[in-house]
Amino acid sequence: MSLAAAALDCKGKHVRLLLHNFACSLVALALACAAVSILAGDKTTWNYEGGLFVITNGSIPRGPCFRLAGRVTSGDFFDRLKRIDRESGTIFRRGAETVENFPDQLTLSFLVHDHYDQTCPPREENPDAPKYLTRAMMSSLHLYLYWKRGVELRPVGNVERKYFAVREVIPEAVAQAHGLPEKLEWAYEYVVPSAGVPLTDSLVLVLRDDENHVVARVAARL
């Protein structure tokens, strides 16, 4: 599934605000919604209010580092969903109902933007390498989705892209006026078929470049 076809710019203040709020609150929501409570001795409960959150750092060979952050949702499916770990095994419940499989489809939303920290290769090793993501770089990346069970990876078929946008982190006019590079943020949304998939499977996201190098990998799991 290629990202190269995505070429629409983000339009409208409403969409910009949604993307900004999503990016700013993602980590906080992940910490708040994937709360853990320790119950009587042998039981641990995980709550998944708000969906499954994913976050990872990536790096383009001879290029910049970036952050991928997003979440997996499906209507109100994850509301009140809990994983209960006991010595006898793991079960998933929503209220009094035992849940075994994902719903028929999931929505995967994620953002990609420049990010540099200690996980990136030292820049002095490649002082001439680009420091910021460009449209051309992002257009060269390809998204692969898999269901993971143990060590087995099964490609996810019939994935549909529902939304794409590019947002200017620094407006172009401001960047040009101050001699700054163009800094952008990419937003994606996909519908992922998931009928009959056990909740114990993980949804794995892999980004590869044109030379098939893995530039980012992260898993959404319960």
Q: Which residues contact 130 (CB under 8 A, 6 or more apart)?
A: 63, 64, 137
Q: Which residues contact 103 (CB under 8 A, 6 or more apart)?
A: 74, 75, 77, 194, 195
pLDDT mean over 56-85: 94
| pTM for the full predicted model | 0.80
Residue 70: name the closest of 154, 160, 140, 163 by CA: 163
Distance CA 52, CA 204 (A): 12
User: What is the tens place of the pLDDT at every residue in 138-161?
Assistant: 999 999 999 999 999 999 999 999
Q: Which residues contact 136 (CB under 8 A, 6 or more apart)?
A: none
Looking at residue 158, its pLDDT comes to 97
For the chain, what are the domain ranges? 13-34+51-75+102-220
Secondary structure of residue 3 in the 3-state scheme: coil
Residue 105: name the closest of 10, 212, 195 by CA: 195
Looking at residue 1, its pLDDT comes to 61
Kindly indicate the confidence band of residue 207, based on its pLDDT and cuts at 50, 70 and 90.
very high
Kindly indicate the confidence band of residue 2, based on its pLDDT and cuts at 50, 70 and 90.
low
158: left (phi over 0), alpha (psi -120 to 50) or beta: left
Position 39 pLDDT exceeds 80? no
Distance CA 113, CA 169 (A): 9
Looking at residue 141, its pLDDT comes to 97
Residue 68, judged by CB atoms within 10 A of its CB (0-12, 13-18, 19+), counts as buried
Looking at residue 73, its pLDDT comes to 98
Looking at residue 164, its pLDDT comes to 97
Position 185 pLDDT exceeds 90? yes
